[in-house]
Amino acid sequence: MKFVSFQVGDRQTYGVKRDARIVELAGLHGLPQDLLGGIEEGEGFLQKVKRVLQDDSAEPRSYSHNEIKWLSPLPKVKRNIMCVGKNYRDHAIEMGGEQDIPKDIMIFTKATNTVVGHEETVLHHGEMTEQLDYEGELAVVIGKRGKGISLEDALEYVFGYTILNDITARNLQKKHGQFFIGKSLDTTCPIGPYLVTKDEVVDPQNLKITTRVNDEIRQSSNTSEMIFNIPTIISTLSKGMTLEPGDIIATGTPAGVGKGFKPPLFLKKGDRVVIEIESLGILTNQLQA
Ligand code: MG
């Protein structure tokens, strides 16, 4: 299933994509009011959704894509978004050469209030940075609580997958030593458009990933190129830290970020960033003009 969180008028709600429409689910036949509530309910939630969709008497409301404002599938994130750094060999090399290829997983976080949805405007932050950069990434959403998760069991803890743009102010990332400020400016974490349940993703480690800026291809790779795969990331993170339903983990970006070009191709006012991942859809965001 492809879940969507969205806004109609002043009302925030969620639903699921069915053909060309989005069927609203919030509160229907005892379903939770938001998608995070559903993920927290665990296995039973997806069964309930299936039953509601098959029940002809349920008559849920549905909307076309242009009747809604897209939100991030999880508009309110419980804690910082966990991100893997330099997880594609060619990206590590473009950032600092062979010596930048990590031997252990590198993890940083983005603040929760960076999150925006598909087609939402990204602020330019021109007073702080002229080095705003895109990073197209596959993101994992955790589906159940776990600690000390083994490599073998790791994918059982996944609810689904989505697309995430880890937008970064390169000057602030470098200046402040730790990445937090450079990764946490408001609106610098577009997520969506869908949260796709794991049963619809045959092999998350074999998905084409492409980033275009104003129709020009900048990143073109495959999730098979990750240095640390998804089970390794989940297992490593959960060794001493409990993972919670709704946790978001961004798995790193391939080569072709703006900083990697000579001269660099940082984002400019009005630029349109389009990230496509096979099976997951297309995430589009435009910079403030
Ligand atoms: Mg990143």
Model pLDDT, residue 55: 85
CA–centroid distance, 167 to ligand 1, in Å, is 8
Least confident segment among 53-57, 114-118, 265-269: 53-57
> What's the 8 CA to ligand 1 centre distance in angstroms?
31
Query: What residues sit around ligand 1, an ion, with C-beta below 5 angstroms?
Result: 135, 166, 253
Cα 44 to ligand 1 centre (Å): 33
CA 59 to chain CA centroid, Å, is 31
pLDDT band at 56 (very low <50, low <70, confident <90, very high): confident
What is the C-alpha separation between 283 and 6, in angstroms, rounded? Answer: 14
User: Model pTM?
Assistant: 0.97
**pLDDT tens readout for residues 233-259:** 999 999 999 999 999 999 999 999 999
pLDDT tens for 146-202 read 999 999 999 999 999 999 999 999 999 999 999 999 999 999 999 999 999 999 999
C-alpha 110 – ligand 1 centre gap (Å): 10
**How many angstroms does the Cα of residue 173 sit away from the middle of ligand 1?**
11
For residue 145, the CA-to-ligand 1 centroid distance in Å is: 24
Ligand 1 centroid to residue 197 C-alpha, Å: 22
Q: Is residue 260's pLDDT more than 80?
A: yes
- What's the gap in Å between 135 CA and the centre of ligand 1? 6
As a whole number, mean pLDDT of residues 73-81 equals 95
Find the 21 Cα to ligand 1 centroid distance in Å: 32
> Residue 3 C-alpha to ligand 1 middle, in angstroms?
24
Q: How far is the CA of 166 from the centre of ligand 1 (A)?
A: 5
